[in-house]
Structure 1
Amino acid sequence: MAPTIASLALVAGLAAAPQQARAETLADALASAYEHSGLLEQNRALLRAADEGVAQALSQLRPIVSWGSELTHTFSNSKTAASNFVAVSNSGTSASLSLSAQLVVYDGGQSQLGVEIAKESVLSTRQALLSLEQQVLLRAANAYLEVRRASEFLALRQNNVRLITQELRAARDRFEVGEVTRTDVALAEARLAAARSGLAAAQGQLAQANLEYIAAVGHKPGRLSPAGGLPRLPGTADAALAVALRQHPDMLQAQKEATVADLRVMLADAALSPTLSLTGRVGHTENFGSRANNFGGSIGLSANQTIYAGGRLSSLQRQAMNNRDAARSNLHVVSHTIRQNVGIAISALQVQRASAQASDQQVRAAQLAFRGTREEATLGARTTLDVLNAEQELLDARANLISAQVDEIAAGYTLLSAMGELTAQKLNLKVRIYDPAGYYNMIKDAPAGLSEQGKSLDRVLRRIGKD
């Protein structure tokens, strides 16, 4: 069964209104990563840039209107036979103003294909942004879980040092009364040194995990609450794969890229068609110092077509067809990659679930063994080495359980990512979801800069730049 939004919200640990001393949940970490990721901001800007490609392509279907002006001053000083070789000076100043417009009436569909290509490219870029969002959230989830793992490992190591310190003290007391030998004391001292070394390593691992948390989430980790359980996930690879192939952003992006490649083949074919353009011009020239002036205009229809371009157009056709074949092949590559990722994630989740169950049983057994060994040691039936070994087995069992539990949750989120479900919207995170169509809807009609829509866009971009 596919995970629901409610179950995803539950696993993320969404709580009520935040409190001052409330522990940070996994949902809080994911929300912070979503809101403060520079990588997401970068690619949102790239998406907006791709949106502008639609406006630019649409402008090719509209007339191009331009104006021009010229101010000219002429002067001459000449001697000719007509003036009996007497110097004659002439000067004058004129100004002209013209307005022209040009509209492509027919180009074999190239302009319209350009609009379709730009639109499909926008849809592809949106899917790329979703794919990146999944990567950002998965990294944040893993960073959160690694801090939890490192913190619990550190607590284990600290407790281990305390226990072995107690065992060493007991061994020394028993050595004083002759119950054990110097060897038992030396064994306890060696184990204490090893425990302190493990403690230092655990402290280093926690420091590294904190640094990754800062990079992934955007702030230092405070007090983190347990990650909670996992949502209801598909029980089989086939069920998960069906969801992934239908909605994974990588698959949808590959499909859009294949569509763009098909359109580019059509565009290369259309480039062989003739182009028909309508041109109009009106102008006025005023001569200063005289009443002479000129006002006129023209309108014309022109057609042109490339007959021979050195083989360039044919090469562009072949190139477009090869790119189309590559895009279609990429669909198979992406499909196989998704199948593999889903299969690996399902397998890892099943392994970690089984490992967590086995580790839980191991911890319970190791606890009984340790308690019994320590009690038997007080009666002289066990040696110090037996107690130290039992304590080490208990430590290893607890560490294995912590790792298995963390890895199980991590595998669950990896499966969500492999299925295309690890997004802020589907996780129901308490954030303002970025609307990829918001900017597009403002520019899809290619508003001019002086229009009200154009001025509104300028204000939006200035506000984004300040955020």
Structure 2
Amino acid sequence: MRIVSSFIALGVMLAAPDANAQTLQETLRLTLINNPAIAAAEIELELAEETLLVARAARSIEISTGVTTQLQSVSSNRLFGALAGETFISQASIEASIPIFTAGEIAATISQARYSLEAAEYALAAQKQETLLSAINAHLGVQFAAEQVAIREQNLIRLERQLNAARDRFEAGVVTRTDTALAEARWRGAEAQLAGAQAELEGARARYLQITGESATQPALEGLPVGMPVSIDEGIDRLLEENPNLQRYVALEFMAGEAIRIAESRQRPRVELFGSASIQDGRWDNEFRDESAILGARASMPLYTGGRLQSAVRQAGMDRAQLRLRRDDARNQLIAMFAEAWAQHRAATSSAIAAREEVRANEVALEGAEIEVSVGLRTTLDLLDQEQELLEAQLRLIDAEKNVYLSASQILALLGALGA
């Protein structure tokens, strides 16, 4: 199951890019900066950080203050209406409270927020892997669409040369009009195929712009992806340890466990200390100054809630069980995806090596066919068929090379190993 030797054999296929070429690292860097899906996942991470801060603040003392100013007008027909008249009253107060015992709710809430932050980190990592894989696909799409255009342009030039040669042989009486018609038909067909390839290139450029936020210039590759596992067994071991989606499910399962603790704690007693101080001052018709201070403890415990709290505990337990099943399902799916990507990579590697040799053989065969046609040993149709064989082999080669790189990138994405 080793593929290192295949990598070495394929290394020569991906030549170093030109100085003005747009490297894959540049594409990935642009994606990380400009892609909105990654930016949205980063905001989710920031929200999780704020949630953790809120959870930690719940165990701290809480202090509030207030100021009230009012004008009070009182008239009375009582004999001793001491408060009658207009009084300008100002009042200031300060209150403080701190939880002493919450049956573990605050600790569980903080722990839950930590796991939520961890899950958000893994979600961001998974989003980056997914988006970077899309960026690699877009990069490869533009590069190999451009190569297809170049191949079809060269094919069109060769077919035009064959058409002119067929016309010359027809004028010399060596071939019939059928030969020139065949050559012209192939040439016209190649024109249409070139137009289709150019349209595919424009579509690939549009997808590149969508993913990276920048226009493609001249995408190129330099070497093969690094960090590939040596065997499928090693890859699956790394998958189970490093895949960000699996790690996210683990964090979510721990979050659900803390939710059970929170639900259970709400059935138990709670104790808090509280205190307050206030001052009230009166002016004009009635002048006075009142000061007060309170310090106390408050204990509470639910006695009857109609089964609501017990139901919350059961719901939290079912949520955790559901997440555990989803994690197991995700693990099985990821193992299957990895095995499929591994098989595709091996097949693409073999296809690329074979296609390279096929192109070389067809180039030699085409050269021989051109010579044989010139001396009357081959027909025009034979030459056109050989030209078509070379074209198809060249297209198979660039498709296989694209699949080699893309399947390797899919493997690395499953391992969480793609990066700019």
Normalised by the length of structure 2, the TM-score is 0.92
Q: Is 1:116 aligned to residue 114 of structure 2?
A: no
Amino acid paired to 1:320: A
Stretch of structure 1 that moved more, 218-227 or 26-35: 218-227
Amino acid paired to 1:271: R
Tell whether the 8 Å contact from 1:2 to 1:232 is kept in structure 2 after alignment. no
Taking the aligned partners of 2:365 and 2:355, their CA distance within structure 1 comes to 15
State the Cα distance separating 1:226 from its structure 2 match.
3.6
State the Cα distance separating 1:22 from its structure 2 match.
2.9
Partner in structure 2 of residue 270 of structure 1: 265
Secondary structure of the structure 1 residue equivalent to 2:90: strand
Q: Please identify runs of 4+ aligned residues in structure 1 that moved more than 6 A.
A: none
Question: Deviation digits for residues 312-358 of structure 1, max 9, x if unmatched?
Answer: 11111110010010111122112112211210111010000110111
- The one of 26, 29, 34 equivalent to 1:28 is 26
Q: Aligned runs of 1:1-16 on 2, under 5 Å?
A: none
Partner in structure 2 of residue 293 of structure 1: 289
Q: Is 1:251 aligned to residue 249 of structure 2?
A: no
Partner in structure 2 of residue 167 of structure 1: 162
Amino acid paired to 1:33: T
* CA gap 1:70/1:417 in 2 versus in 1, 3 angstroms: same
Secondary structure of the structure 1 residue equivalent to 2:229: coil
Question: Deviation digits for residues 213-243 of structure 1, max 9, x if unmatched?
Answer: 1122221122233442343622321110111
Partner in structure 1 of residue 45 of structure 2: 47
Question: Deviation digits for residues 126-177 of structure 1, max 9, x if unmatched?
Answer: 0000011111211111111111110110001111111111111111111112
State the Cα distance separating 1:291 from its structure 2 match.
4.6
Normalised by the length of structure 1, the TM-score is 0.83
Amino acid paired to 2:382: D
Amino acid paired to 1:353: T
Tell whether the 8 Å contact from 2:104 to 2:265 is kept in structure 1 after alignment. yes
Tell whether the 8 Å contact from 1:171 to 1:180 is kept in structure 2 after alignment. yes
Tell whether the 8 Å contact from 2:3 to 2:346 is kept in structure 1 after alignment. no
State the Cα distance separating 1:91 from its structure 2 match.
2.3
Q: Aligned runs of 1:357-396 on 2, under 5 Å?
A: 357-396=353-392
Taking the aligned partners of 1:30 and 1:53, their CA distance within structure 2 comes to 31
Q: Aligned runs of 1:201-350 on 2, under 5 Å?
A: 201-231=196-226, 233-289=228-284, 290-350=286-346
Q: Is 1:99 aligned to residue 97 of structure 2?
A: no
Tell whether the 8 Å contact from 1:2 to 1:233 is kept in structure 2 after alignment. no
- The one of 159, 163, 183 equivalent to 1:188 is 183
- The one of 398, 414, 417 equivalent to 1:418 is 414
Secondary structure of the structure 2 residue equivalent to 1:299: strand
In structure 1, stretches of 5+ residues that fail to align are 430-467
State the Cα distance separating 1:79 from its structure 2 match.
3.8
Q: How many residues align?
A: 410
Taking the aligned partners of 2:36 and 2:228, their CA distance within structure 1 comes to 31
Secondary structure of the structure 1 residue equivalent to 2:215: coil
State the Cα distance separating 1:77 from its structure 2 match.
3.2
In structure 2, stretches of 5+ residues that fail to align are none
Identity of aligned residues (%): 28
Tell whether the 8 Å contact from 1:106 to 1:277 is kept in structure 2 after alignment. yes
Tell whether the 8 Å contact from 2:227 to 2:412 is kept in structure 1 after alignment. no
Secondary structure of the structure 1 residue equivalent to 2:336: helix
* CA gap 1:2/1:198 in 2 versus in 1, 3 angstroms: closer
Question: Deviation digits for residues 393-422 of structure 1, max 9, x if unmatched?
Answer: 000001101111111011111111112211
Tell whether the 8 Å contact from 1:236 to 1:346 is kept in structure 2 after alignment. no
Tell whether the 8 Å contact from 2:260 to 2:317 is kept in structure 1 after alignment. yes
Q: Aligned runs of 1:378-457 on 2, under 5 Å?
A: 378-422=374-418, 424=419, 429=420
Taking the aligned partners of 2:224 and 2:71, their CA distance within structure 1 comes to 85
Tell whether the 8 Å contact from 1:2 to 1:240 is kept in structure 2 after alignment. no
- The one of 145, 152, 156 equivalent to 1:150 is 145
Secondary structure of the structure 2 residue equivalent to 1:102: strand
Question: Deviation digits for residues 375-406 of structure 1, max 9, x if unmatched?
Answer: 11111111111110000000000110111111
Amino acid paired to 2:302: T
* CA gap 1:413/1:138 in 2 versus in 1, 3 angstroms: same
Tell whether the 8 Å contact from 1:342 to 1:419 is kept in structure 2 after alignment. no
Taking the aligned partners of 2:153 and 2:234, their CA distance within structure 1 comes to 44
Taking the aligned partners of 1:242 and 1:79, their CA distance within structure 2 comes to 91
* CA gap 1:89/1:336 in 2 versus in 1, 3 angstroms: closer
Taking the aligned partners of 2:37 and 2:160, their CA distance within structure 1 comes to 48
Amino acid paired to 1:55: L
Question: Deviation digits for residues 87-112 of structure 1, max 9, x if unmatched?
Answer: x9622222111111111111111111
Q: Is 1:75 aligned to residue 73 of structure 2?
A: yes
- CA RMSD between the two structures: 2.4
Secondary structure of the structure 1 residue equivalent to 2:75: strand
